Amino acid sequence: MNIIRKLLFPIVPIYFLVTWLRNKLYDFGIKKSKSYDLPIICVGNLSAGGTGKTPMIEYLIRLLKDDYKVATLSRGYKRKTEGFQLANKEATADTIGDEPFQFYTKYKGSVLVAVDANRQHGIEMLQNDKPDVILLDDAYQHRKVSAGFKILLTTYANPFFKDIVLPTGNLREPRRGMLRADVIVVTKCPKGLSASEKSNIIKRINPKTHQDVFFSSIDYAEFVIAANKTEVIESLGHFTLVTGIANAKPLVNYLNEKNLNFEHLNFKDHYNFTLNDIENLAQKELIVTTEKDYMRLKQYDSLKEKLFYLPITVHVDNAAKLNTLVKTFVTH
């Protein structure tokens, strides 16, 4: 925690009160939430920062896309357009945002990908295409929409029950916001997490009878992918790792464990690379980046022959139960 955030601690009670009051207004029906006839699944978190929402949305896409017409709806953070946008062959990270562009690039033809800061309007627009289910990305605090199934993510390293609200902590709202969730997933867990530690975490979460808790971890691929080739990661010589994500530490640890030779250029989350950045990167011999950052960098011809990304997937413990809960909700 940096010194500035500590100095802002007197604001914490004010932020707590404002967000608590806002939630109460929705809880009591004074502020209105809108429900929909079609199944809507919300994936989000209490905290600001990366909890693994994008990999979880992709997990749900893979789970549902063969049996249902799936749509995703995101805000489209840091895009250069406004209003509702439905991804098409002209879409870029600039027009719909890096994460939605990632969904579209990987699953086009199988999934509708849309962005709209006004989620109610976005849902209404998507209904014209008659999806069977809509996945709301990062909409846990967007209470104008009453999603029928809510998945709350919290990281193993920084669980919400050890945190406080902004600006000193990282929580967007008080901890009791977890009560709205149907499922809570503790993400980015170390491999081989013991049953006793899982039990202790569940006790700290203190789920209610309607809530299920799951644990997930990140599986990094053994290969990296470029525009027209794939390479085994351990065959790479010296490379430059470029990250613009909330927390690059797990990725850096993974690469270090493989004793790979690399330098790390770390940018802030959703960083908009400048032309000067691109010119500097073009001087590098080989670049490995995250899939999200790849969506923003692949447009530059000077990088295409040297730019690779490392795919990741989510592994969920007791995935069969989670899959059943999700599919049961969508079906009914």
Positions at the binding site for ATP: 47-54
Residues of the binding site: 47-54
The answer to whether 240 and 265 are in contact (CB under 8 A) is yes
Give 154's strand partners. Answer: 186
Q: In what order do the strands lie in the sheet with 230-232?
A: 230-232, 223-225, 307-310, 287-290, 239-243, 262-266
Count, residues in the chain: 332
Q: What distance in Å separates the CA atoms of residue 317 and residue 34, rounded to the nearest whole number? A: 33
80-92 per-residue burial string, b: 16 or more CB within 10 A, e: under 16: eeeebbbbeeebb
Q: 84: Cβ–Cβ under 8 A, 6 or more apart, which residues?
A: 114, 115, 116, 118, 121, 122, 125
